[in-house]
Amino acid sequence: MASTAILKSLLLALGVGLASGVAAQPAAQAPAKVVFQVSDGDAARWNMTLNIARNVQQELGADKVQVEIVAYGPGIGIGMLKADSPVSGREAQAVKAGVEMVACENTMIALNLTEADMAPSISYVMAGVVQLMKRQSQGWACILP
């Protein structure tokens, strides 16, 4: 008898949930988050990173993933995020597709670079490594291509 009462209560609760639409609505899923570290000034490495970022967006859906590329040291050193970079066209396409490109200001200071030297669509953090640490503590997947 007690089990019948429990079963009726559960069915009643389920019915109320279905009637209110609670059970019929899928839970909203937070977007995936990935940050790529680029500390190598090799144009081939940069192109590979841009390819991987695009592949992640294509696989998961650009609206379902946040993608960030953080560059510091030699990753900025030969000018990969500079306005006249050999990958500047690809960098601009990635930003347009929703990839955030982030430059380390400590590296820029060491190299006597200013924001005027850099691609117009990028953003800045004081320390690239600290940005990677923050992202990792926030649950982002951190990738070194």
Cα dist. 11→7, 15, 25 in Å?
Answer: 6, 6, 18
What H or E segment, with its residue span, contains residue 13? Answer: helix 2-20
Provide the residue ranges of all domains of the chain, joining segments of one domain with +: 1-30, 31-143
Question: Looking at the predicted structure, is the pLDDT value of residue 9 above 80?
Answer: no
Reported as a pLDDT band with limits 50, 70 and 90, residue 26 is: low
Q: Are strands 32-38 and 99-104 parallel, antiparallel or unpaired?
A: unpaired
Number of C-beta neighbours around residue 51 at 10 A: 13
Reported as a pLDDT band with limits 50, 70 and 90, residue 30 is: confident
Query: Residue 73 in contact with residue 39, Cβ under 8 Å?
Result: yes
Question: Looking at the predicted structure, is the pLDDT value of residue 12 above 50?
Answer: no
Query: Residue 121 in contact with residue 101, Cβ under 8 Å?
Result: yes
Burial class, 143, CB count within 10 angstroms (exposed 0-12 / middle 13-18 / buried 19+): middle
Both structure tokens of 64 = 């379902």
CA 90 – CA 98 distance, rounded (Å): 13
Question: Looking at the predicted structure, is the pLDDT value of residue 34 above 80?
Answer: yes
Q: Mind listing the pLDDT tens digit for each residue in 119-136?
A: 998 999 999 999 999 999
Q: Domain 31-143: which topology?
A: Hypothetical Protein Ychn; Chain: A, (3.40.1260)
CA 37 – CA 53 distance, rounded (Å): 11
